A and B are shown apart, each in its own frame.
Chain A
Amino acid sequence: MKISLFIIGCVASGFLAGLSGNLFGWEVPTRLLDLTILVILVVLVFAVGLDLGARGDAWGRIGSLGPRLLAIPVVSALGSLGGVASVAAFVWRYPVRQACALGSAFGWYSLSGPLLTALAGPEVGAVAFLSDVMRELTALVMIPLVARFVGSPEAVALGGATTMDTTLPVLARATDGEATPLAFAHGVVLAVVAPVLIPFWFSF
């Protein structure tokens, strides 16, 4: 719970800082911000690897996952795609191919926004970008709670494609390192699938 509150506080203060920049006419250059985020991501992934290795039984845990290492990412992708596509098609009346494409980014907003803008127009691109940003923020806030009250694999599924970078450290902390190997594999599989799956829906 403390981690979730800490994350909400950081996002909110960042967002307010950005808004105040709009009001008072200052701005952090986008390239500098992207570079900073990339550097922090590298530090994060390194720290997670160090944590995983220092616990001593990392390789055993990866081996013990067996077929689950691939099965859980596939099931999670199907569930996520089904959830988004059905709400987009039946509630918001998007055409089926757009609805499926909206569900195929699995939280990878830097991919879905630009790609869907190019494939389906700026409005679908903006919805994809916002929903994937919110998916990542939801995951960051909810992972500690889902890991505690539902289970570690379900907490991994919540993170979508972000479980190999941004949400990986939160998962590592929330599950005491137990879900780290699965989380990384889950993120890699979904990150490989997403760039292929989004254009696929527009190819026929």
Chain B
Amino acid sequence: MNLLLLLVLATVLGWWVGGRRPFGETTLRVGQMVMLAAVGALVFGMGLSLGQRPDIVSQMARLGLRAVSLSLSGAVGAIIAVATVRRLWRERRA
């Protein structure tokens, strides 16, 4: 809920700033750079938190194949389901 509120506030702020030249273009450029840097920091943190947990590292070899197969099957299942439904929608419209 807090994230939703933050997103709405930032969107309103972005809309307000975006209409004022040259701030709009600068906001977009800076926003993109901040996003990329933050994603890098976030996944580094995730890697760090995994790597420094010996219980997870030791189980990774034993349970890794199961985990990989389950994560891939979930991802592929979601993609196939959405692609199929979109195709059906398109065919119904045509």
Binding site for B on A (CB under 8 A): 3, 6-7, 10-22, 27-28, 30, 33-34, 36-37, 40-56, 58, 71-72, 75-84, 86-88, 91-92, 102-103, 106-107, 123, 126-127, 129-140, 142, 146, 150-151, 153-154, 156-158, 160, 164-166, 169-170, 172-173, 184, 188
Q: Which 6 interchain pairs have the tightest Cβ spacing?
A: A18-B51, A83-B77, A79-B81, A53-B14, A14-B47, A49-B10
Main secondary structure of the interface of A (DSSP, over half): helix
* Chain B residues with CB under 8 A of A19: 51-52, 57
Q: A132 vs B63: C-alpha distance in the bound complex, in angstroms?
A: 13
CB distance from A15 to the nearest CB of B (A): 4
Q: Does B3 contact A (CB under 8 A)?
A: yes
Q: Cβ of B34: which chain A residues have Cβ within 8 Å of it?
A: 43, 47
Residues from chain B with Cβ under 8 Å of A20 in the complex: 51
Which of B13, B18, B38, B75 is close to A158, meaning CB atoms less than 8 Å apart? Answer: B75
* Across-interface contacts of A153 in B (CB, < 8 A): 82, 86
Q: In this complex, what residue of A is CB-closest to B18? A: A54
The secondary structure that dominates the B interface is helix
Contact call B76/A83, Cβ cutoff below 8 A? yes
Please report the C-alpha to C-alpha distance between residue A56 and residue B16 in the assembled complex, in whole angstroms. 9
CB distance from B17 to the nearest CB of A (A): 6
Q: Which residues of chain A have C-beta atoms less than 8 A from B68's C-beta?
A: 131, 134
Residue among A71, A75, A146 with max Cβ neighbours from chain B (10 Å): A75
Selected from A14, A49, A133, A135, the residue in CB contact (under 8 A) with B45 is A14
Query: Are A130's CB and B51's CB within 8 A?
Result: no
Q: Which residues of B contact A127 (CB under 8 A)?
A: 63, 66-67, 70
